[in-house]
Amino acid sequence: MAVSWRSWLANEGVKHLCLFIWLSMNVLLFWKTFLLYNQGPEYHYLHQMLGLGLCLSRASASVLNLNCSLILLPMCRTLLAYLRGSQKVPSRRTRRLLDKSRTFHITCGVTICIFSGEKNYTFKCKHSRHTQNDQRKKLLFTTVPGLTGVCMVVVLFLMITASTYAIRVSNYDIFWYTHNLFFVFYMLLTLHVSGGLLKYQTNLDTHPPGCISLNRTSSQNISLPEYFSEHFHEPFPEGFSKPAEFTQHKFVKICMEEPRFQANFPQTWLWISGPLCLYCAERLYRYIRSNKPVTIISVISHPSDVMEIRMVKENFKARPGQYITLHCPSVSALENHPFTLTMCPTETKATFGVHLKIVGDWTERFRDLLLPPSSQDSEILPFIQSRNYPKLYIDGPFGSPFEESLNYEVSLCVAGGIGVTPFASILNTLLDDWKPYKLRRLYFIWVCRDIQSFRWFADLLCMLHNKFWQENRPDYVNIQLYLSQTDGIQKIIGEKYHALNSRLFIGRPRWKLLFDEIAKYNRGKTVGVFCCGPNSLSKTLHKLSNQKNSYETRFEYNKESFS
């Protein structure tokens, strides 16, 4: 099927443009620094000494400066959540860029890895020209820049090997704990550049590079060998002391004095100080904000291993679609786990809630603490047990692309299994009041394997359906439920859910037909597509969003990158 260029530009254009800008900045910085060290008069002698390795190494360092500063910015989640919600970023296109923050972080990380490797090898090459192996090892392990450089490469190695896709998918803990070594990396980086090993010439006017000294003989080259012997323990190479070289030039520059050298100011400090301070400030703010525990109001057990927790916290505000992280010291002192809010606090009601699916050891232990085994089958926990709830801390709320679904006139929300949670908060918000938002039509597709899973939000869906029928807006929400696997026995959700039973289909959705139908009934409009589910589903929808349709309808695909 042909790709619609309009849709492709809307979906991919801004992302690729930003990538191009970032790439251009890197190339420009690399080239500019390379030329500076290759041709700049203040580095003339240094270049003569160290050769091409110096230029490559310094150019890599400047690219590293840029990326080490940029890599922190996508991780300022509170700041990004603020930008998403504030009026300061009015354009939806710009807000959609924030969805790609993790991808940008990974891109910068890979670049840091590549250029650190290049800097490491060009360092060894440039110093191999004039020093012996043992001297180089001494330089590496006894100077501050050398030692910190080695440590940084080792830290980077640990971080990179634990950040591969396979490790993140299978052992997220290894990734999370090693990634916190970034702080060590930045501290070492700060020390690494303070060594002042490479110097530039300060007195270019009185000693232009390549000038000859009238009083100088071959045995009186005192200043340059001094510089050499200070750092490299070798006599000055013979290349400069031949006056015959200069007799071919028309103008011969005369040295007024010996060259003087001074260490460069560590530019890295200027690059990384801003983002590092910003990131540290954000972490401090998040720590202070999450220090107060929440009050758990109720714990509800749902079918198919899902538990709902409703809680309150003072001054907690969240928008629909945002997520929080839960930290329960009684379960694990170190782990924080993110969960999308299924119910947000409103002006009238301060309660908010999350739905958790019990799939791993943390959620299992958490459930055992909240719901004693005897009452795990019943639906609502008796109030008398509330005093035994463990202390629970939350951090957030953090933004996600699902917040945008209320800002489109028409939205298509596709949920796979427990991926319905971000949309549940949207539906709760619409149930409360739908008029303030731009959204006028919502297509809600929910695909589940087990029919009992629909009962998580069956009440909510029915209430919403009834509300819009009462308000004479029956086309506002279009619900379609799909049961992808069936044993053929149970075909209805529950007898009281008439509206949902009539909208229940057996089998997987036929996405092409669905997209065509939505395009036909919303001609010329921009439809926001939101997907929360397996990767394969997401890829299918992404591809369909870029395809052409004969109704001039544009589908904008919004997705958050997990891992």
Partner 1 sequence: MGQIEWAMWANEQALASGLILITGGIVATAGRFTQWYFGAYSIVAGVFVCLLEYPRGKRKKGSTMERWGQKYMTAVVKLFGPFTRNYYVRAVLHLLLSVPAGFLLATILGTACLAIASGIYLLSQVPPARRGDCPPLAVRLLVCVRGKGAALSVHAFHVWKWSSASSLTDLPPAELSFRTPSCCQVLIWAVALFSGGHPRAPRLPAAMHS
Q: Of residues 399-428, which lie at the interface with partner 1 (CB under 8 A)? A: 400, 416-419, 421-422
Shortest distance, CB of residue 147 to partner 1, whole angstroms? 13
CA distance 240 to 238: 6
CA distance 109 to 181: 14
**What residues does 412 pair with on adjacent strands?**
443, 529
DSSP class of residue 449? S
Q: Is 259 in the site for partner 1 (CB under 8 A)?
A: no
Site for partner 1 in 175-194 (CB under 8 A): 175-177, 180, 183
Q: Is 332 in the site for partner 1 (CB under 8 A)?
A: yes
Site for partner 1 in 32-91 (CB under 8 A): 75, 77
* Region from 28-36, 242-250, 279-287, 427-435 binding partner 1, contact rule CB under 8 A: 279-287
Q: Please name the helix (run of DSSP H) or strand (run of DSSP E) that holds residue 200, with its range, or none.
A: strand 199-201
Whichever of 322 and 411 has its CB closer to partner 1, that residue is 322
The torsion angles phi and psi of 312, rounded to 5 degrees, stand at -130, 150
The answer to whether 299 and 308 are in contact (CB under 8 A) is yes
Query: Binder to partner 1 among 87, 142, 170, 472 (CB under 8 A)?
Result: 170
Query: Binder to partner 1 among 329, 372, 390, 507 (CB under 8 A)?
Result: 329
CA distance 148 to 143: 8
**Type of residue found at 522:** N
Query: Binder to partner 1 among 117, 195, 208, 494 (CB under 8 A)?
Result: 117
35 CB-near residues (< 8 Å, 6+ apart): none
Cβ burial, residue 197 (10 Å; 0-12/13-18/19+): middle
Whichever of 252 and 359 has its CB closer to partner 1, that residue is 359
* Region from 4-12, 43-51, 120-128, 222-230 binding partner 1, contact rule CB under 8 A: 120-128
Shortest distance, CB of residue 360 to partner 1, whole angstroms? 2
Query: Binder to partner 1 among 535, 539, 543, 552 (CB under 8 A)?
Result: 535
Shortest distance, CB of residue 563 to partner 1, whole angstroms? 4
Q: Please name the helix (run of DSSP H) or strand (run of DSSP E) that holds residue 561, with its range, or none.
A: none
* Region from 83-91, 190-198, 358-366, 432-440 binding partner 1, contact rule CB under 8 A: 358-366
Query: Tokens standing for 441?
Result: 């039509």
Whichever of 179 and 216 has its CB closer to partner 1, that residue is 179
* Region from 59-67, 325-333, 490-498, 546-554 binding partner 1, contact rule CB under 8 A: 325-333
Q: Is 353 in the site for partner 1 (CB under 8 A)?
A: no
The helix/strand/coil state of 337 is strand
CA distance 349 to 340: 18
Backbone Cα Rg of the chain: 31
Shortest distance, CB of residue 91 to partner 1, whole angstroms? 25
Q: Is 114 in the site for partner 1 (CB under 8 A)?
A: no
Q: Is 371 in the site for partner 1 (CB under 8 A)?
A: no
Query: Binder to partner 1 among 8, 22, 269, 362 (CB under 8 A)?
Result: 362
Q: Which residue has the tokens 């109704």?
A: 551
The torsion angles phi and psi of 187, rounded to 5 degrees, stand at -65, -45
Q: Is 478 in the site for partner 1 (CB under 8 A)?
A: no
Query: Binder to partner 1 among 66, 68, 328, 356 (CB under 8 A)?
Result: 356
Query: Binder to partner 1 among 14, 158, 211, 463 (CB under 8 A)?
Result: 158
Q: Which residue has the tokens 């052409």?
A: 548
* Region from 31-39, 150-158, 194-202, 255-263 binding partner 1, contact rule CB under 8 A: 150-158
Q: Which residue has the tokens 């758990």?
A: 296
- Greatest CA separation found in the chain? 107
Shortest distance, CB of residue 34 to partner 1, whole angstroms? 19
The answer to whether 533 and 414 are in contact (CB under 8 A) is yes
Q: Got the DSSP string for 427-479?
A: HHHHHH--TTSS--EEEEEEEESSGGGGGGSHHHHHHHHHHHHHTT-TTSEEE
**# residues contacting partner 1 (CB under 8 A):** 77
How many CB atoms lie under 10 A from the CB of residue 421? 26
Site for partner 1 in 382-401 (CB under 8 A): 395, 400
